[in-house]
Structure 1
């Protein structure tokens, strides 16, 4: 039988109502641990949700890895690269790559009778993964875009639609200027999307690959590049290195040079901003653990002082200081466990309410999302529980040495 654990359980189960000082101290300690853990869970889940929401939106407009002409990736100009079926198949076989799709950009102007607006037309083919845009569609639908015929359909953002006062199903003229002069195309608005990413919503429109290639004056197998989705974002650098090895120093039939970039390299300012949030989380975790630790230390000291007679009696009966310290550490562990239980109930409860009801709203123009995004990560929540328990017990070891200074004879007169 574990003697310290047995005594600690008896003390914990007794619910001694005569302890007028230690009971409030225990409640305060339990409350401190519960609030600390709840705040940590909410903070971590909100930051994870926000980072992944913004990251997925940036990736949704492009992809994890972009294979294009070397000059395209080094400048804002568009240099075509040859993406044949064999190139696509070779990229799809690279370890870590999940999906490959072609794309082509061209710049133009949308014009109505009353106004005009510059935009970037992105041409996509039948292999285009429309999951992201579909999730953010407000009106209409996304057609299956062709790479061999002009469908005269376009998908625009709500930002563009509001600026030009455009409606679903309406026709609009677009003008494109290149070395061959001005080209005009008439499109029908097939869908309107909104992602709240102002940088993209204010300029990106979608149409078919065939149209963009013709507008750019490129060959049928020339495109701005290929977008690659990976199986695991955490292995993005490793997969990008494999892709770069497969295309490095290779040229196409038109003397274009293949190269590759990751989404992090293309939008470093956004991902640097997201990484700064990790520092905020670590600061919150440190502060909350400190709060929980201090309240537990205060509670333990009060409990030890109020049970001085019991400690003296145990010493008189032959109990060693180490055993008595273990009794109070086990008792503190029970208090911490109760606090962790309530902390999980409160923290996870708040997260679930926000996840399914979205009670807390944000300004999408500033934060890119309309409600506070949350993401429940069970392994991370378990890690927070374990870390909080271990740290709180560890900081109680030093205060527990107060027991060594309690003498059996003197403790009998202590009240």
Structure 2
């Protein structure tokens, strides 16, 4: 029989335990553990959620990896065409983990209405385009279909819709300047069949999604010429690895660039954000551990006579330390239980209620995103329990300093 655990249970269930001098300190320690786990769960869930949402939005507008011509063009505009007759298109068979590869082309344009005008990026896509991203952020209408004849249907953002006073189903003009400024610009009369809101203002205020065949005609490209290819991965965590593989498998005349390379500032901001999150978690665990150390020392000092009696009966210091560590483990588990309960309620409320909003200009999202994975929640709980118990081993050495004769006489 594990008599250390038996004694620890008797201490926990004793009435004197609940009304002892150490009771307020024990409650504070439990609350500290609970509050700490709530803060850590929120920090991780929001940090990973923010990272995932930003990755999804960058990928939705650019693909995970873009294949384009080698040139000095650092803008969003594609200038020189690429033939679709590539070994990696329409399926990238030489590299695993590829979800889809789709063609695209972009051209600067100006939306002109009766009262206003606005510069935009006219992004052309084809029938191989993966609409999963825009399905999630579609707020009105439907997604355009570019499978059959040349389509004049376009997808615009709520940002453009509000700024240009355009509604679902409206037709409007887009002007495209020719290479020779002396010539009249191209004019396309298009119809807004869908409106989206990704919350990524830098893209929402610029991109209009349309049929790539408009750009091919204006640029006098052949039907098999496009501006570039977007590669979507099945697992974004393999971005760097797959980017290197794709670069090695593309012709020397083409360049491949991941979104991490294309938007280094955003990715660096995410890395700093997550580093701060991990720092906060470390500080909270240390604070929770200190609270538990205080509670354990009070418990030991309060039960000095019991320690003396157990030593007199032949118990070793190790056995008595186990009694108090079992006791402390119980307190930590109570704190973890209430912390998990409260934390999960808050996270689910935000995930499905979106009651906390953010400034999209700063955080690239409208509301606080939540990423729930029970794997990291379990790891967080196990890590907190083990680290707190390890921190308690040293103060429990106090037990070895207690003299059984003096402690028994003390009472």
Q: What is the TM-score of this pair, normalised by structure 1?
A: 0.93
What CA distance in whole angstroms lies between the structure 2 residues aligned with 1:337 and 1:76? 53
- Once the two structures are superposed, what CA deviation does each residue of 1:36-73 show, in whole Å capped at 9, x if it has no partner? 11111111111111111122111111111111111166
- CA-to-partner distance for each residue in 1:56-99, whole Å, 9 max, x for gaps? 11111111111111116656652211113754135255212111
Give the aligned partner of residue 412 of structure 1. Answer: 408
* 1:339 has 2:342 as partner: no
Match of 1:258 in 2: 254
Which residue of the other structure, out of 389, 393, 399, is the alignment partner of 1:393? Answer: 389
Please give the per-residue CA displacement for 1:186-230, whole angstroms capped at 9, x wherever unaligned.
111212211121111111001111111112221211111111111
CA contact (8 A) 1:37 1:340 kept: yes
Q: How does 1:317-328 map to 2 (within 5 A)?
A: 317-328=313-324
User: Over aligned residues, Cα RMSD in angstroms?
Assistant: 1.8
**Pairing 1:200–2:203 present:** yes
Per-residue deviation, 1:9:
2.1
Rounded Cα–Cα distance in structure 1 between residues aligned with 2:407 and 2:270:
57
Counterpart of 1:311 in 2: which secondary structure?
helix
Q: 1:393 to 1:17 in 2, by over 3 A?
A: closer
Equivalent in the alignment of 2:121: 120
- The Cα of 1:414 is off from its aligned counterpart by 2.6
Deviation larger for 184-193 or 120-129: 184-193
Contact 1:351–1:374, Cα closer than 8 Å, also in 2: yes
After TM superposition, the structure 1 stretch with the greater mean CA deviation from structure 2, 74-83 or 349-358, is 74-83
Residue matched to 1:252: none
Indicate conservation of the 8 Å contact 1:101/1:228, yes or no. yes
1:183 pairs with 2:207? no
The 3-state SS of whatever aligns with 2:71 is helix
The DSSP-based 3-state class of the residue aligned with 1:16 is helix
Provide the C-alpha distance between the structure 1 equivalents of 2:15 and 2:63, rounded to a whole number of angstroms. Answer: 59
Q: Distance in 2 between matches of 1:162 and 1:119?
A: 14
In 1, the alpha carbon distance for the partners of 2:15 and 2:254 equals: 73
* Kept in 2: contact 1:155–1:192 (CA 8 A): yes
What is the distance in 1 between the residues matched to 2:18 and 2:101?
A: 72
Q: Between Structure 1 and Structure 2, how many residues are aligned?
A: 407
Mapped contact 1:92–1:99 kept (Cα < 8 A): no
- CA distance in 2 between partners of 1:284 and 1:227 (Å): 37
- TM-score, normalised to structure 2, is 0.94
Residues 240, 261 of structure 1: 8 Å contact kept: yes
1:297 correspondence with 2:300:
no
Q: Which aligned pairs between 1:310-389 and structure 2 lie closer than 5 A?
A: 310-389=306-385
Query: Would you say 1:62 and 2:65 are equivalent positions?
Result: no
Conserved 8 A contact 1:45-1:375: yes
SS of corresponding position for 1:105 = strand
Q: 2:243·2:257 contact (CA, 8 Å) conserved in 1? A: yes
